[in-house]
């Protein structure tokens, strides 16, 4: 059955946001005398939302600071959301070529931040719906947000596919019973993506792939 709906991950798939996330994380932890993180270190921790990111970044003995760091993170990140963030090469071009498909963004970033990010980078209009970590009661790798997108857009699992750069995207798709595509240019190495049904190195490969499925 032909694919009608493409569900895209955001960070690491459509947009490279890691520098701004790193800056916000360092701002959040900076006043507590904690060492600054590099972009490389942040890349290894992103994907499960802000709360889990902060929990991973804080040493075990500093976990009581979690809520304070999250608050400071959000204050900074909200003000510097797209200072260094840019869409990956050929993303807008590809989205234009996918105009015959329904398209959604499903992110573990909070919904308001996801919407703002896409608006500020001028491609929110390509999507029928934008879903964040707080839109439903669970986030990726749960199937719940994927099922929510399909329900909202009246599309069946066999007509849907999810595109992402991490194991959380692949697991969410598998849990919801839909096909999965891993992009290799994002934040996770290839070995984390081996369970995907398909793997692409360039977003421009997506349309030809969909025409074959």
φ, ψ of residue 101 to 5 degrees: the values are: -110, 150
Give the whole-angstrom CA distance, residue 151 versus residue 146: 9
Q: Nearest to residue 95, comparing CAs of 72, 121, 57? A: 121
Candidates 9, 11, 16, 169; catalytic one = 9
Report the alpha-carbon distance of residue 165 to residue 52 in Å, rounded: 18
Q: 9 an active-site residue?
A: yes
Three-class DSSP category at 143: coil
Burial 35-55 (b: 16+ CB within 10 A, else e): eebeeeebbebbbbbbeebbb
Distance CA 179, CA 158 (A): 8
> At how many degrees (to 10) do helices 66-79 and 18-30 cross?
130
Whether residue 171 contacts residue 162, with contact meaning beta carbons closer than 8 Å, is answered with: no
Residues designated catalytic: 9
């Amino acid at each position: 059955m032909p694919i009608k709906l493409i569900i895209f991950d955001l960070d690491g798939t459509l947009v490279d946001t890691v520098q701004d996330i790193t800056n916000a994380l360092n701002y959040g932890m900076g006043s507590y005398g904690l060492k600054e993180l590099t972009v490389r270190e942040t890349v290894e921790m992103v994907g499960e939302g802000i709360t889990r990111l902060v929990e991973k970044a804080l040493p075990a003995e500093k976990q009581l600071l979690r809520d304070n760091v999250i608050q400071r993170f959000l204050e900074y990140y909200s003000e510097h959301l797209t200072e260094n963030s840019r869409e990956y090469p050929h993303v807008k071009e590809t989205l234009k070529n996918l105009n015959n498909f329904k398209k959604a963004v499903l992110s573990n970033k909070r919904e308001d931040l996801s919407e703002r990010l896409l608006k500020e980078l001028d491609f929110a209009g390509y999507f029928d719906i934008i879903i964040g970590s707080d839109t439903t009661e669970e986030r990726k790798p749960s199937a719940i947000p994927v099922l929510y997108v399909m329900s909202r857009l009246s599309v069946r699992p066999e007509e849907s596919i999810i595109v992402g750069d991490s194991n959380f995207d692949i697991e969410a798709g598998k849990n919801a019973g839909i096909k999965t595509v891993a992009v290799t240019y994002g934040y996770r190495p290839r070995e984390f993506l081996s369970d995907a049904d398909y793997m692409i190195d360039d977003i421009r490969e997506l349309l030809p792939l969909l025409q074959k499925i």
